[in-house]
Amino acid sequence: MARILVVDDDTALLDMARVLLEKQGGHEAVLSADGEEALAIARENPPDLAIIDVMMPGMTGYELCRQLRASPETAAMPILVLTARGQPVDRAAALEVGADEHVAKPFEMSDLLDRVNELLEWGATAARSRIVVLLGLRGGVGVTTLAVNLAATLLREGRDSVCLVDLCPSSGHVALQLGLRPEPNWKKLASIATPDADAVEGALMEHRSGLRVLASPIVPVVGEGLPRSTVETVLGTLRERFEIVVVDTPSVLGGATMAALEAATNTWLVMAAEPASIQTVLGTGRALGEQADAFSVILNQAAPGQAVSPRATEQVLKRRLAGNTPFDPGQAQALARGQPLAFGEPDSPLAKAMNGLVKTLI
C-alpha cells in the first residue's frame, strides 16, 4: 500500500480519486484542494507519489511541482500531473517543471490507476538508486576531476553498478581522465526526440574497471548541447539501470544543467578557496534560491596554496562546507596517464579525501 497525495481544487475529482485509490488500488489517499497546503503536507510527511492538477487558484500545479523537486524530502518522489490539455507542448511543460508523467483530462479512472501503479513501481526502483550531480559555474575548480574520482571511489567501495556522465558540450574531459577515446558518446542522442533504453545503452562506453561512461563528444558542439528533455529522458533511463549515476555538468545554468539538478538526489557545488569562486557560489545561490540550499558545498584545492582559508570561506558563505579536498601534486601525472588517482594511487591525498566524501554519501 502506498501513500498518495492528490491535489486538485475540484472536490468531485478528489472524491473519485479517493474511491479509485483506496477501494480499487488498495492505497492511502491524502487529499488537498490547495497547493500551499499540499506542499506543507508533503514536506511534513512525504508521500510515495503525488497527483497534481495544473490549474488551481493560488499556487499552480506547475509551481507546486517545482517546489516539491526543490525540497530534499520530496525531490525524488514520482509526480503525475493532470491537465486539461494534451498537446505535446503541454507534456513538455509538465516534464520541464519536474513531473514524471502527464495525463490529459478527461481520462478513464482505470487508466489513471494503471499509471499510478506503474509510477510506484518505477519509484521503488529509483529510490534504491542515486543521481549525484557535480556543479561548478567557475571553470577550473576541478569539477571533472572530482566527478571521475568519485565514480572510481564508488566502484572501489563495492558499488558495482556505476555510470559516469559528461554533459559538457565543449569537448568534456571525463573520457580523457580515464584514458578513453570518447567513442561512442552522446552526440547521436541529441538528434533523437525521445531516446529509448537501447539508444542510451548504445551510447555508453565501458572502462576496464567496469565503470560505464556516457562521454562528451571530442569535437565541441555548436549550440547548447544535449536538449533539456533529452537529458531528463537519459538520466531517467540510467537511474533504472545503475545504482549510482555521477553527472559532470557544464559550467552554465542551461537546459542540460537544470535538468540534471532537478533529477539529482545529491548535488555537490564545487568551489575553490579564492574570491572569484566565492563570488560565483554566492551568485549560484541567489540564482537557484531554495534549490541551492540543499546542495553540499565542496571546497576543492585544484592548485597549490589557497587565498582564503576554509574557515573564512564558511564565514563568507554563511554555511558549512561538506568537504575539503586537498591539492594533490599527483593529479597532473594521473591525467597524463589517463588513470584517476582513486584507481592508481588509493593512498594519495585526493583519493583519501574522496573516501571520506563517499562515506557521507552512502
Helices assigned H by DSSP within the chain: 11-18, 35-44, 61-70, 88-96, 109-127, 143-156, 174-177, 197-202, 228-241, 255-263, 275-288, 290-293, 310-317, 331-337, 341-344, 349-361
Region of residue 295 (phi > 0: left; psi between -120 and 50: alpha; otherwise: beta) = beta
pLDDT single digits (tens) 105-119: 888 888 899 999 988
Average pLDDT value over all residues in the chain: 91
Q: Which helix (H) or strand (E) holds 271?
A: strand 266-271
State the angle between helix axes of 88-96 and 228-241 in degrees (0 to 180), rounded to the nearest 10.
60
The span from the CA of 60 to the CA of 65, in Å, is 9
Read off the pLDDT band of 198 (50, 70, 90).
Answer: very high
* Percent of the chain's residues with pLDDT above 90: 72
pLDDT surpasses 70 at 159: yes
Residue 216 DSSP symbol? P
The span from the CA of 49 to the CA of 47, in Å, is 5
Neighbouring C-beta atoms of residue 183, cutoff 10 Å? 11
Read off the pLDDT band of 195 (50, 70, 90).
Answer: very high
Name which of 180, 169, 322, 195 is nearest 255 in CA terms: 169
pLDDT surpasses 80 at 123: no
Given a contact cutoff of 8 angstroms between Cβ atoms, the answer to whether 357 and 350 are in contact is no
- pLDDT for 307: 76
pLDDT surpasses 80 at 122: no
Q: Where are the domains of the chain?
A: 3-126, 129-361
Find the range with the poorest average confidence among 15-29, 52-66, 78-92, 242-256.
78-92
The span from the CA of 205 to the CA of 190, in Å, is 17
pLDDT surpasses 90 at 217: yes
- pLDDT for 290: 85
The span from the CA of 57 to the CA of 64, in Å, is 12
Q: Which three cell numbers stand for residue 96?
A: 520541464
Using alpha carbons, list the distances in angstroms from residue 54 to 91, 112, 290. Answer: 11, 16, 22
Q: Mention the CATH class of domain 129-361.
A: alpha beta
pLDDT single digits (tens) 124-136: 665 567 899 999 9
- pLDDT for 265: 85
pLDDT single digits (tens) 270-300: 999 999 999 999 999 999 998 898 899 999 9
pLDDT single digits (tens) 137-155: 999 999 999 999 999 999 9
Neighbouring C-beta atoms of residue 205, cutoff 10 Å? 19
- pLDDT for 105: 84
- Domains 3-126 and 129-361 in one fold: yes
Q: Is 300 helix (H, G, I), strand (E, B) or coil?
A: strand
pLDDT single digits (tens) 292-325: 988 999 999 988 887 788 999 999 999 999 999 9
Query: What does CATH list as the number for 3-126?
Result: 3.40.50.2300
pLDDT single digits (tens) 327-346: 999 999 999 999 999 999 99
The span from the CA of 65 to the CA of 75, in Å, is 9
- pLDDT for 261: 94
pLDDT surpasses 80 at 232: yes
The residues near 320 (Cβ < 8 Å, ≥ 6 apart) are 297, 314
Given a contact cutoff of 8 angstroms between Cβ atoms, the answer to whether 168 and 143 are in contact is no
Read off the pLDDT band of 168 (50, 70, 90).
Answer: very high
Given a contact cutoff of 8 angstroms between Cβ atoms, the answer to whether 226 and 186 are in contact is yes
pLDDT single digits (tens) 246-270: 999 999 999 999 999 999 989 999 9
The span from the CA of 179 to the CA of 159, in Å, is 21
- pLDDT for 125: 61
102 vs 30, residue with greater confidence: 30
pLDDT single digits (tens) 55-77: 898 899 999 999 998 887 888 78
pLDDT (mean) for 38-62: 93
SS (HEC) of 140-207: CCCHHHHHHHHHHHHHHCCCCCEEEEECCCCCCCHHHHCCCCCCCCCCHHHHCCCCCHHHHHHCCEEC
- pLDDT for 362: 62
